[in-house]
Chains A and B, each alone.
Chain A
Amino acid sequence: MSGVHARGVRRFHFARDVEEALSLLAAYEGRGALLAGGVDLLRSLRVDIEGLIDITRIGLSYTKEARGGLAIGGTTTLTSILESRAAREYGGGILADLLHRVAVPPLRNMATLGGALVSAHPWADIPTALVALGAEVRWQGEKEGRVPVEELYQGPFRGLFRQAVAIEVLLPPWDGAFAYEKVGRTGYDIALLNACCGVGVEGGRIAWARVAVGARPDRGERLPWAEEALIGQRPSQTLWQEVQDLVAKRIEVGDDRRASGAWRREVAGVLVERALARASGRAGM
């Protein structure tokens, strides 16, 4: 835990727009870093950084409705997402559910969604939710692109964001609702385990289902087999319990110093069951 390696940092820039941020980044040839809230960068072990490029003034702080879903700018702080009217309704209130459980208010006032997407710690909550929600990220570097977060995390995304800015996170519309579950050692702890689940119903049967579990201790991933077990079924407590058992049986978990795989295996099922039950309740099933 070496804290800030301010020693190597020589210059601090306020970029005016994305282009300037990118050209500054390019000029440092790998020894520069984009700075948003800074809460992660301050803890990082990177000692090679000479230039910090602040991107909080380049117009990427907003939360708005977009084609029935949400578009959230890359530098939007977690607090301002929590305060936005658009976010309140989305996904049955999933963002409030999630973000109230992320760290503490002073940290949420600084931390940004882009920073959370890019830092993507395996124990973090936001990646689990982004994957469950089917989020996409729009980025701009030498080229521009748009990619599902789930796909992004399967590749070498850290390299990408050393040369590109995460412009916007797009959350698609869902006809149904999500819920978030987390276990930590204290009310402000990082997760020992987390889960994000959503369901939608048509004609009395589950039309779609999303199940993701994170801090296993690996980063949040979807469990497609759990989703398949839900689709086409009638929502019921019995069904959630069946999925709970299935998750406990099949999920891939491991040990770390915070919790054992055995505990995670059993509790993963519980968190999925609880998230499903709450999500279906919110969806009015």
Chain B
Amino acid sequence: MAVETRHRGAVGQSVTKVDGPSLVAGKPVFTLDHDVPGALVGKILPSPHAHAAIVSIDTAEAEAVPGVRAILHHGNVPRVPYTTAGQGWPEPSPYDTVLFDRKVRFVGDRVAAVAAETEEAAEEALRKIRVEYKVLPAVLSPEEALADGAPVIHDEPDAEGIYDAKHNIVAAVDIPVGDVASALAEAHVTAEATCEIPYSQHAAIEPHGVIAYFDEAGRLVLRTSTQVPFHVRRIVARVVGLDPARIRVIKPRIGGGFGSKQEILLEPVAALLALRTGRPVRMAYSREEVFIASRTRHPMRVAVKLGAGKDGVLQAIDMEVLSNTGAYGAHALTVLSNVGSKTLPLYNKAPHLRFRGKAVYTNLPVAGAYRGYGATQGYFALEVAMDRLAEALGMDPIELRKRNHIRVGETSPIFEKIGEGREGTAQVVRSCALADCLRIGAERIGWKENRGRRREDGPWVHGLGMACAMQGSGITGVDMAAATLVMQDDGSFRLLVGATDLGTGSDTILAQIAAQELGVPVDRVLVYSSDTDFTPFDTGAYASSTTYVSGNAVLRAAQSVHRQILDVAAAALGERPEVLELAEGAVASRKTGRRLTLGEIGHRATYVVDQRQIAATASFTCPESPPPFAAFFCEVAVDRETGVVRVERFVVAADCGVAIHPKAAEGQLEGAILQGIGHALCEEMLFAPSGRCVNAGFFDYKLPSSLDTPRIEAILVPSEEPTGPWGAKSISEIGINGPLPAISNAIYDAVGVRLTRAPFTPERVLLALRAAGK
């Protein structure tokens, strides 16, 4: 036991999550658990039309409803073009949104908002707002959006940053490296795949919610379920016309986000309603509103062409993307860019590359950030094409990956060519255990013994498939995180971070990173995060950034505090700091063996001699974005007679550098795999010809449940990232990139048909079997 306590808190230990006990005890930790007396209820009137001009809005009857305190619509709010995407400055998403417009662009678009004393009064008022619409022809697919003479979705003159509004193209990229066309023509073998992903949902348990209220000084406080508190503050200030210094954003415990809360949705509406009424305002999306009015994954079609020599070494990769951003361009350019930037460097042996694509507007719900952020869509096509290439070469798919994947000391021109909506940053891979991941994962699933066997069990045929992926750790040249670490008079610590724990466990991990440097158990580090009044800046929880970017900031602050502690101890002991060592809650001299506990040091610095606050603020920008790597293996069973696919087993071996908290890292992988299985087998938002989503809820939009969960084996394969805090890289997104291609490839191994349109429903699978004459 003594040994265990000595190591408790060290990096690499699965310590109790700092928020675990309060969650288990059901403490009121979430946004809307907070009761603000006298709060009004805010509600939004959604558009019933996919595309329409608002001819008139008459709110007289609605205002007369008892209890109604304010109604907002395009006629009475400032018109400030902005983007709802919560990204760093300068924002790469177009300013194509205003709070309330004269035009609606999808079923569910904001028409008006009401604040009232009760939910009933707010709903009655919504029903009594008379809106006259002039219905416009709607664009319900990316192909229609690009067709000649298509209705123009963004014809407003004040929008900024749209690539080609007249043709509904929000963003376009075309990045050639070398000469792909000739390389493909000359390649010994070629293979291609065109894969499609539909509209899908993040399905975080907690819907979006916000409370806007005023503090004693009359400043506006937004307590909100967000991944990006600092962007909320900046964007809300601009949109509602308030001095940012008069806004405080607090992020309490979040019930999941997966990217859907990297978006500024309810906050400016609640802020404006609060400002108009002088009253606190609570707003929350219903599950139906989350489906239609928050954000989705970008539906995409990705076409990949590969050319390779006889030895399987890739000569050319051509990737072409058509992305549907829906009615507004939140994350349109950056998700599009990521399709290439997070996939192509994985196979850096290919000298000829081309990445091109368009993101287009449609009159459908708005896509945004979603775990994987384009890489998921890219890997689906890339890894199915790789499976085909292996077949054409008569080579084992694992061998093909081994001959092509990037290794330590290597680079890819893509790192420099594609960044976050602009040029990226050249970088060299400093840690990569993908070769180990491939070997360990293959052994675990029994690749050699079981692949290509087509084991039958009645109508069920079993098959094995695999895929590889990488991601990044933060956004180079954009992300910045800061941390303030304060030593208290009792020798314990306060860690203030802008980093946003949205359920991922980052509060715990950041405490571990500090505790490791300071030689104390985790419970000696009190973490307070994401409050724009009290914590330093952080770009937010997205782009797999927190452990790496925020973690590095914490480590630097801890190193500085470590030095300060040694200085104080040195003065007290009359020794040089170089001979002192901080460990196990005390500073000891290697020379004399004399010791001072942290409590004694804190007390001395606070009260006794040379009084000062031992504290440091440090920040970290992201000069490079070290990729985590993973190899995915799965076994599926396909019912040849009904088309039903069951995932029997899933093995993922991932390299996230040093796992700060192994259980949390495995949890991220397991969750991402299951979310990916949902993409592969059952998740799809469906639309009526009017553009209305017809399955906006869990009754008819299916997530895999515990009944559908196969054995998921998450294996952490260690490497050491020299630029990471204690050797760590990211782990939160990469897991979702594997299931789509691995399952598709496994279905092919089982029954010989390629599924390229997700999800692989019984109907699509059976149709593919019949089309192949099977």
- Cross-interface CB contact of A183 among B286, B288, B644, cutoff 8 Å: B644
- Cross-interface CB contact of B766 among A184, A190, A263, cutoff 8 Å: A263
Do B699 and A185 touch across chains, with their CB atoms under 8 A apart?
no
- Cross-interface CB contact of A259 among B286, B681, B703, B763, cutoff 8 Å: B763
Do A187 and B644 touch across chains, with their CB atoms under 8 A apart?
no
Q: Which residues in window 189-230 of A have CB below 8 A to B?
A: 189-190, 192
- Cross-interface CB contact of A267 among B695, B697, B707, B762, cutoff 8 Å: B762
Do A185 and B761 touch across chains, with their CB atoms under 8 A apart?
yes
Do A43 and B644 touch across chains, with their CB atoms under 8 A apart?
no
Any chain B CB within 8 A of the CB of A243? no
Contact with A along B509-523 (1 / 0, CB 8 A): 000000000000000
Alpha-carbon distance A259/B697, docked complex (angstroms): 18
Q: Which residues in window 727-774 of B have CB below 8 A to A?
A: 761-763, 766-767
CB distance from B674 to the nearest CB of A (A): 12
A273 to chain B: closest residue by CB: B641
Any chain A CB within 8 A of the CB of B682? yes
Do B642 and A257 touch across chains, with their CB atoms under 8 A apart?
no
- Report A-chain residues with C-beta under 8 Å of the C-beta of B767: 263
Do B686 and A257 touch across chains, with their CB atoms under 8 A apart?
yes
- Report B-chain residues with C-beta under 8 Å of the C-beta of A259: 761-763
Any chain A CB within 8 A of the CB of B694? yes
Alpha-carbon distance A43/B642, docked complex (angstroms): 30
Do B702 and A257 touch across chains, with their CB atoms under 8 A apart?
no
Any chain B CB within 8 A of the CB of A23? no
- Report A-chain residues with C-beta under 8 Å of the C-beta of B641: 267, 270
Any chain A CB within 8 A of the CB of B705? yes
Any chain B CB within 8 A of the CB of A252? no
Do B682 and A267 touch across chains, with their CB atoms under 8 A apart?
no
- Report A-chain residues with C-beta under 8 Å of the C-beta of B682: 185-186, 189
B458 to chain A: closest residue by CB: A274
Any chain A CB within 8 A of the CB of B164? no
Q: Which residues in window 57-77 of A have CB below 8 A to B?
A: none
Do A263 and B705 touch across chains, with their CB atoms under 8 A apart?
no
Contact with B along A258-270 (1 / 0, CB 8 A): 1110010011001
Number of chain A residues whose Cβ lies closer than 8 Å to a Cβ of chain B: 23
- Cross-interface CB contact of B762 among A3, A104, A183, A257, cutoff 8 Å: A183
Alpha-carbon distance A3/B686, docked complex (angstroms): 20
Do A1 and B766 touch across chains, with their CB atoms under 8 A apart?
no
- Cross-interface CB contact of B696 among A1, A43, A183, A185, cutoff 8 Å: A1
Do A186 and B763 touch across chains, with their CB atoms under 8 A apart?
no
- Report A-chain residues with C-beta under 8 Å of the C-beta of B704: 186
CB distance from B247 to the nearest CB of A (A): 33
Do A186 and B703 touch across chains, with their CB atoms under 8 A apart?
yes
Do B288 and A270 touch across chains, with their CB atoms under 8 A apart?
no
Do B708 and A187 touch across chains, with their CB atoms under 8 A apart?
yes
Any chain A CB within 8 A of the CB of B413? no
Do A183 and B642 touch across chains, with their CB atoms under 8 A apart?
yes
Do B699 and A1 touch across chains, with their CB atoms under 8 A apart?
yes
- Report A-chain residues with C-beta under 8 Å of the C-beta of B120: 7
CB distance from A210 to the nearest CB of B (A): 22
- Cross-interface CB contact of B763 among A3, A187, A260, A270, cutoff 8 Å: A260
- Cross-interface CB contact of B705 among A7, A43, A187, A270, cutoff 8 Å: A187
Any chain A CB within 8 A of the CB of B255? no
- Cross-interface CB contact of A185 among B288, B694, B702, cutoff 8 Å: B702
Do B702 and A270 touch across chains, with their CB atoms under 8 A apart?
no
- Report A-chain residues with C-beta under 8 Å of the C-beta of B702: 184-186, 189
Contact with B along A117-146 (1 / 0, CB 8 A): 000000000000000000000000000000
Any chain B CB within 8 A of the CB of A14? no
Any chain A CB within 8 A of the CB of B643? yes
Contact with B along A236-260 (1 / 0, CB 8 A): 0000000000000000000001111
Contact with A along B672-707 (1 / 0, CB 8 A): 000000000110001000000011110110111101
- Report B-chain residues with C-beta under 8 Å of the C-beta of A192: 762-763
Q: Max chain A CB contacts within 10 Å: which of B288, B697, B703, B763?
A: B763
- Cross-interface CB contact of A43 among B686, B699, B703, cutoff 8 Å: B699
- Report A-chain residues with C-beta under 8 Å of the C-beta of B681: 185-186
Any chain B CB within 8 A of the CB of A28? no
- Report B-chain residues with C-beta under 8 Å of the C-beta of A12: none
Q: Which residues in window 11-51 of A have CB below 8 A to B?
A: 43
Alpha-carbon distance A183/B699, docked complex (angstroms): 16
CB distance from B116 to the nearest CB of A (A): 14
- Report B-chain residues with C-beta under 8 Å of the C-beta of A187: 705, 707-708
A189 to chain B: closest residue by CB: B702
Do B643 and A186 touch across chains, with their CB atoms under 8 A apart?
no
- Report A-chain residues with C-beta under 8 Å of the C-beta of B288: 1
A263 to chain B: closest residue by CB: B763
CB distance from B712 to the nearest CB of A (A): 16
Alpha-carbon distance A267/B697, docked complex (angstroms): 27
CB distance from A39 to the nearest CB of B (A): 11
Alpha-carbon distance A187/B703, docked complex (angstroms): 10
- Cross-interface CB contact of A186 among B123, B642, B695, B707, cutoff 8 Å: B707
- Report A-chain residues with C-beta under 8 Å of the C-beta of B286: 3
B646 to chain A: closest residue by CB: A187
CB distance from B66 to the nearest CB of A (A): 15
Contact with A along B715-737 (1 / 0, CB 8 A): 00000000000000000000000
Contact with B along A171-194 (1 / 0, CB 8 A): 000000000000111111110100
Do B705 and A1 touch across chains, with their CB atoms under 8 A apart?
no
Q: Max chain B CB contacts within 10 Å: which of A3, A258, A260, A263?
A: A263
CB distance from A263 to the nearest CB of B (A): 4
- Report B-chain residues with C-beta under 8 Å of the C-beta of A190: 699-700
- Report B-chain residues with C-beta under 8 Å of the C-beta of A263: 643, 762-763, 766-767
- Report B-chain residues with C-beta under 8 Å of the C-beta of A270: 459, 641-642
Do B694 and A188 touch across chains, with their CB atoms under 8 A apart?
no
CB distance from B773 to the nearest CB of A (A): 14
Do B697 and A1 touch across chains, with their CB atoms under 8 A apart?
yes
Extra contacts, 12 of them, besides A1-B699, A186-B681, A263-B766 (Cβ < 8 A), are A3-B286, A104-B705, A104-B707, A185-B681, A186-B708, A189-B682, A190-B699, A257-B695, A263-B763, A266-B766, A267-B642, A267-B766
Which residues of A are interface residues toward B (Cβ below 8 A)? 1, 3, 7, 43, 104, 183-190, 192, 257-260, 263, 266-267, 270-271
9 shortest interchain CB distances as A-B pairs: A187-B707, A263-B763, A185-B682, A270-B641, A185-B702, A186-B702, A1-B697, A187-B708, A267-B642
| 10 interchain pairs, CB-CB under 8 A | A1-B288, A7-B120, A185-B762, A186-B682, A192-B763, A257-B686, A259-B761, A259-B762, A263-B766, A263-B767
